[in-house]
């Protein structure tokens, strides 16, 4: 087992987790509205999966990114026989990305990231104030 977590470790892990979350939402937004010729080939949104990582030595809990998974959302069928990717029925399959939900996801991740920055800033200021004490 390694060294016990410090406040800086917890904040760094939290910030890294929020970056993974933001990147997943950005990928989903980038693929919103994309079409394909079959349901299987349509883009499926992705989500970051997190787990708690409790450090018994320090008593601090942090976050661990367990991975990024594809959602099982069904692609949206649209009848568009003039589209070059249309199947034999004249249908194309649109990625099932809710752009509003992805923007909310990005805003929440951004706020959580900023909270970690503020916590680090406060900890730094407290350490500096402590060092100035005589």
Q: How confident is the model at residue 79 (pLDDT cuts 50, 70, 90)?
A: very high
- Do residues 27 and 21 lie in contact, with contact meaning Cβ atoms separated by under 8 Å? no
Convert the pLDDT of each residue in 97-121 to its tens digit. Answer: 999 999 999 999 999 999 999 999 9
Structure token pair of residue 17: 């987790």
Domain annotation covers residue 116: yes
90: left (phi over 0), alpha (psi -120 to 50) or beta: left
% of the chain with per-residue pLDDT over 70: 98
User: What one-character DSSP code corresponds to residue 11?
Assistant: H
Compute the residue count for the chain.
134
Domain annotation covers residue 83: yes
Residue from 51, 33, 24, 132 nearest 92 by CA: 33
SS3 81: coil
Mean pLDDT of the chain: 93
Q: How many domains does the chain have?
A: 1
Rounded to two decimals, what is the model's pTM? 0.85
Q: How confident is the model at residue 50 (pLDDT cuts 50, 70, 90)?
A: very high
Q: How confident is the model at residue 4 (pLDDT cuts 50, 70, 90)?
A: confident
Domain annotation covers residue 2: no
Domain annotation covers residue 104: yes
- Do residues 34 and 91 lie in contact, with contact meaning Cβ atoms separated by under 8 Å? no
Domain annotation covers residue 1: no
Q: Determine the structural domain holding residue 68 and report its residue range.
A: 7-132
% of the chain with per-residue pLDDT over 90: 83
């Amino acid at each position: 087992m390694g060294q016990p977590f410090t406040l800086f470790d917890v904040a760094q892990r939290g910030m890294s987790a929020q970056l993974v979350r933001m990147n997943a939402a950005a990928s989903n937004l980038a693929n919103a509205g994309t079409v394909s010729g079959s349901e299987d080939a349509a883009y499926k949104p992705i989500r970051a999966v997190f787990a708690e990582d409790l450090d018994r030595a320090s008593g601090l809990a942090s976050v661990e990114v367990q991975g990024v998974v594809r959602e099982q959302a069904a692609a949206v069928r649209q009848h568009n026989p003039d589209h070059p990717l249309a199947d034999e029925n004249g249908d194309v399959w649109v990625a099932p990305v809710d752009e509003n939900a992805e923007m909310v996801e990005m805003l929440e991740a951004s706020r959580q990231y900023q909270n970690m920055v503020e916590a680090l800033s406060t900890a730094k200021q407290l350490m500096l104030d402590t060092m100035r004490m005589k």
